[in-house]
Structure 1
Amino acid sequence: MEAAIDRLAQPRRARATFLGAFALVWTAFGLVAFLGDDVLHHVVDATPWLAARPWLVEAGVLALAGAYQFAPLKRRSLVACRHPLGLLPTHGASRRGSFTLGLDHGLACLGSSWALMLLMFAEGFANLWWMVALTAVMVYETSGRHGQRAASAAGVVLLLAGLVVMSGPLLWGA
């Protein structure tokens, strides 16, 4: 009887281990992003020239996120994130296999979405619509029928947004 219960519990444990490892990757990224944001604020505060031009940081983050949408690493990571079953043959069904599978899948998804998450971190706190739009883009990229095309379209939009933000003071005076 106990053996039957263990067999039933094993998939749950494996799933929980996988999800825990996946969450660990994103938690680590969140911590690094938070600390990086703190450092960036200190740099801006300590640099009067940059403090007088806050749009440069925003334009830089938009441009970084937009450019990364076209990076080969983004493309490879997006494929791996979209198709995690391709990772299964390299991992066993054990708890350790589930953990490494969760880490690998988390890293693949991080590789495909870190720049958009960074942008969400930078813009999303101030604007719920940014958060909604970026979430929709990331979800569609990883699960939609034309995810690669969506990544390219998002890249163009983000690069243009960065250009608008960068040239804003010239256009509207600031």
Structure 2
Amino acid sequence: MPAGDGMGDMVGAAMRPDAAALADATTGYTLLALMWAVMMVGMMLPSATPTVLLFAALERRRAAGGPRGRTACFVSGYVAVWSVYALTAAAVQTSLAHAGLVSMQMATTSAVLAGGIFVAAGVYEFTPLKDRCLTHCRSPLDWIPRHMRAGRTGAFRMGVGHGAYCVGCCWVLM
């Protein structure tokens, strides 16, 4: 490589210890976020199955012979909300690990943090927001007709809405 072409500078910068640490941190966060996303979908999508099946049945009845794919859009909206939650949870976990409050095994190393999490989870169980979210998640027969939207974008927005209520039910327990 000719001198002064910039490639040597880029290679040199990539080999600096701070660049390696940044790459490791980015890879670590990415893997952690992926773990959270897979875990959230694996745990929460089965609990949404009754709502998804009800939506699909209503769609088959409503759009006989019409465009398909609205159920997939509904599920995509639901998964999108849980994916955003997963990114947030991974960021919080990474921050707690950097602060020394969480070990590499994802266990709290602070009795104050552990106690605070338990108290916050207990208090949240009795809030009006938790009650409202739980009401919507438990009664899809009531929720779907009142929130029905036209088109695939409408189905995606419905999935986002249902996902948001589900996150509202149990985010603090995760």
TM-score, length-scaled by structure 1: 0.54
Mapped pair 1:36 → 2:62: no
Amino-acid identity (%): 33
- Greater radius of gyration (CA): 2
Structure 1 unpaired stretches of 5+:
1-5, 46-52, 118-174
What amino acid does structure 1 have at the position aligned with 2:165?
A
Structure 2 unpaired stretches of 5+:
1-62, 102-108
Q: Which residue in the other structure is 1:108 paired with? A: 165
Residue pairs, 1:1-174, within 5 angstroms: 7-8=64-65, 10-11=67-68, 13-44=69-100, 54-85=110-141, 86-117=143-174
Higher relative contact order (CA 8 A, sep 6+): 1
- Give the aligned CA root-mean-square deviation in angstroms: 2.1
Q: What is the rounded CA distance, in whole Å, between the counterparts of 1:84 and 1:103 in structure 2?
A: 14
Displacement of 1:9 in angstroms is 7.2
CA shift digits 1:59-106 (9 cap, x unpaired): 111111111111110000110111234243333241111111101000
Q: What is the rounded CA distance, in whole Å, between the counterparts of 2:67 and 2:118 in structure 1?
A: 44
Q: What is the rounded CA distance, in whole Å, between the counterparts of 2:67 and 2:139 in structure 1?
A: 23
Displacement of 1:10 in angstroms is 3.6
Displacement of 1:41 in angstroms is 1.9
What amino acid does structure 1 have at the position aligned with 2:88?
V
- By percentage of residues, which structure has more helix? 1
TM-score, length-scaled by structure 2: 0.54
Q: How many residues align?
A: 104
SS at match of 2:72: helix
CA shift digits 1:3-54 (9 cap, x unpaired): xxx955745x111100010000001101101101111222236xxxxxxx62
Q: What is the rounded CA distance, in whole Å, between the counterparts of 1:116 and 1:95 in structure 2?
A: 32
